Amino acid sequence: MELAHVLNGLRDPMGVPFYPWFFQVLMVLTFALHIIFVNLAIGGTFMAFYEHYKKGEYNKKLSGFLARSSTVNLSAAVVLGVAPLLFVQVIYDPFWYVSTVLSAWWAVGFLIFVTVAFLALYAFYLKRKGEAMKGFGFFGVASFVLLLLAAFVMNLISVQFLEPEKWKAWYLTGTMMNTSGTTIYDFRISRYLHYIVASFAITGVFMMLYGWFFSKREDMDKDYLHWVASSGAKLALWSTVVAMIVGVWWLLSVPSKLNFVSNPFLIIGVLLGVVFLIVLILAQKEPEKYAMWSALFAFVAVLGMSTAREVLRMVYLGKFNYSIYTYKLNLNLGSTALFLLTFIMGIIVMAYPLAVAWKLGRYGKTNEEGA
């Protein structure tokens, strides 16, 4: 196949410094962590300005907490997003580079959207904290819209990534090459909505954790905490139901000739999602009791679906005889060992301040807005 030769010829001639499966495993794991924080940033930002506009006492407190936590979650999403992006560039470099060049201005726009979204979100949080909120709810809305635009760009690039058979037609119009980088060549609304709706499910679980985490605090209003946890449980449950429906819609857009519906990794991912849904149903009466279980199964479900997503990518690209496992191996144990050592040291360095923050937050004193 001519296209297969082209795709394999576009690989880095230096090869990869370690076994491709190693980068693939890390890519799936870091993507799962990344997408959870993306979900928290998108869902949390929406709920922050939504609760602000409701203007009740409890709504005001919850808005303050979500406004502050969303700035942190967005920062974490950006930092954690670097890892899976780098791994994609290592083992899927021909697809990633071509897709981003095709829509280069949108790829650059992604950086602008995220940067301005963070600034707007922080302005919303600071003005909210300072009680000078008249007219500043706009910043929360603006941040949410910009995050949706950023998600749109990543979805756009990811879809074009999977369609190398269309690249030539996209580049050429007759005898003229389209090098503007402004064109949107393909986009799937079902795939996009599946990720966006899931943001509210993860945010709902986050609200359950909030109610559970501060439940031992003597300086916190127990009725308020239960209200947050209960609201979160309802939000997580119904958002998960809608996400599953949209997920079926997305699955129907996958070419039937790929036979992905019967793929065991997809089946496992779906079963994990069903288990998560069952836990959420049980959590409706006692959300604080099931908060940790909900968080655990949410992560497992996201990890399962992230694995299924990677398997689907391999199935798509398998049509062109492209396999990451045939990538040229140029073994470099020194750089790999340095990477692993840095990774482990980073975990160790962060473990202590996280442990201190956990203990202070669980038993210390703070104001009820979390600001």
Instruction: Identify the CA nearest to 141 among candidates 38, 72, 67.
Output: 67
In a domain, 66, yes or no: yes
In a domain, 323, yes or no: yes
64 close to 47: Cβ distance less than 8 angstroms: no
In a domain, 212, yes or no: yes
258 close to 311: Cβ distance less than 8 angstroms: no
Residue 76 φ/ψ region, left for φ over 0, alpha for ψ in the -120 to 50 degree band, beta for the rest: alpha
What is the domain extent for residue 230? 2-363
Tokens, residue 252: 């129907």
Per-residue pLDDT tens, the chain, 371 aa: give them: 588 888 888 888 888 999 999 999 999 999 999 999 999 999 999 999 899 888 788 998 999 899 999 999 999 899 889 889 999 999 999 999 999 999 999 999 999 999 999 999 998 888 765 555 566 778 889 999 999 999 999 999 999 999 999 988 888 876 778 888 888 899 999 999 999 999 999 999 999 999 998 888 877 888 999 999 999 999 999 999 999 999 999 999 898 888 898 999 999 999 999 999 999 999 999 999 999 999 999 999 999 999 999 999 999 998 888 999 999 999 888 888 888 888 788 778 777 777 777 777 766 655 445 44
In a domain, 198, yes or no: yes
In a domain, 266, yes or no: yes
70 close to 44: Cβ distance less than 8 angstroms: yes
> Could you tell me how many residues make up the chain?
371
Residues 200, 197: Cα–Cα separation, whole Å: 6
Would you state the pLDDT for residue 3? 83
Amino acid at residue number 274: V
Tokens, residue 188: 């799937």
Would you state the pLDDT for residue 25? 95
In a domain, 369, yes or no: no
344 close to 26: Cβ distance less than 8 angstroms: no
DSSP 17: S
Residues 249, 195: Cα–Cα separation, whole Å: 13
Count CB-CB contacts under 10 A for residue 218: 7
Largest CA distance in the chain: 73
Residues paired with 172 in a beta bridge = 177
Would you state the pLDDT for residue 128? 64
Handedness of CA 217, 220, 223, 226 (dihedral sign): negative
Residue 200 φ/ψ region, left for φ over 0, alpha for ψ in the -120 to 50 degree band, beta for the rest: alpha
When divided into structural domains, the chain yields a total of 1
In a domain, 345, yes or no: yes
Tokens, residue 10: 């576009």
76 close to 37: Cβ distance less than 8 angstroms: yes
Residues 180, 102: Cα–Cα separation, whole Å: 8
296 close to 257: Cβ distance less than 8 angstroms: no
Using a 10 angstrom Cβ sphere, with 0-12 exposed, 13-18 middle and 19 or more buried, the burial of residue 217 is: middle
